[in-house]
């Protein structure tokens, strides 16, 4: 009798420990899921901040050929990326939280930005030409100083 009741007590104790372990495992699983959700939210926010920093507040970015590194906001306002950047966060999450890019959300650079870019390029060319002209003038004056004053017969020519 003692051994049967001892076995029953040991069995009850083992079942109690099993139930406690299951509860602990369930709670750990819930905490793990919560941490994974928080991690996903933090990754999304980090990606948005990274995109905002890269874009300087603009809504979209494209490289010279208009393809690589194109970033945009979806209709829901979250940032989506078709970038193949070396950043693991940008390349890992290439769609919005809904799982797809919103139709028409990838915008080309705005015409005002294109016009400003063109204006700056033209201004740059003008400044480069002006600089070359100043360099030629300076070289000419320097050469004249080295050669000395022109002779009286050379001024008529």
Residue from 102, 83, 100 nearest 92 by CA: 83
pLDDT per residue, tens digit, the chain (157 aa), is: 678 888 999 999 999 999 999 999 999 999 999 999 999 999 888 888 777 676 655 444 444 444 444 444 444 455 555 444 444 444 333 343 444 344 444 444 567 777 788 888 888 888 888 888 888 888 888 888 888 776 665 555 4
Contact assessment for residue 92 and residue 61, using Cβ atoms and an 8 Å cutoff: no
Which DSSP category does 106 fall into? Answer: -
Residue 86: predicted pLDDT: 41
Is there a contact between 80 and 73 (Cβ–Cβ < 8 Å)? Answer: yes
| pLDDT given for residue 49 in this prediction | 79
**DSSP labels, 57-99:** T-S-B--TTS-TT-EEE-TTS-EEE----S-HHHHH--S-TTS
What string of H, E and C letters represents the secondary structure of 11-56? HHHHHHHHHHHHHHHHHHHHHHHHHHHHHHHHHHHHHHHHHHHHHC
What pLDDT is attached to residue 154?
Answer: 56
Q: Given this model, what pLDDT does residue 35 score?
A: 92
User: According to the model, what pLDDT value does residue 151 have?
Assistant: 63
pTM of the model: 0.30
Residue 103 is given by DSSP the state T
């Amino acid at each position: 009798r003692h051994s049967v009741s001892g076995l029953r007590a040991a069995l009850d104790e083992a079942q109690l420990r099993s139930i406690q372990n299951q509860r602990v495992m369930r709670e750990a699983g819930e905490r793990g899921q919560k941490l994974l959700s928080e991690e996903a939210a933090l990754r999304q926010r980090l990606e948005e901040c990274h995109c905002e920093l890269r874009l300087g507040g603009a809504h979209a970015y494209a490289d010279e050929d208009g393809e690589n590194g194109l970033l945009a906001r979806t209709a829901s306002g979250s940032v989506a990326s078709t970038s193949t950047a070396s950043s693991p966060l940008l390349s890992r999450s290439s769609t919005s939280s809904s799982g797809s890019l919103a139709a028409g959300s990838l915008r080309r650079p705005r015409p005002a930005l294109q016009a400003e870019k063109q204006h700056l390029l033209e201004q740059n060319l003008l400044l480069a030409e002006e600089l070359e002209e100043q360099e030629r003038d300076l070289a000419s004056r320097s050469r004249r100083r080295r050669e000395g004053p022109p002779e009286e017969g050379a001024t008529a020519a």
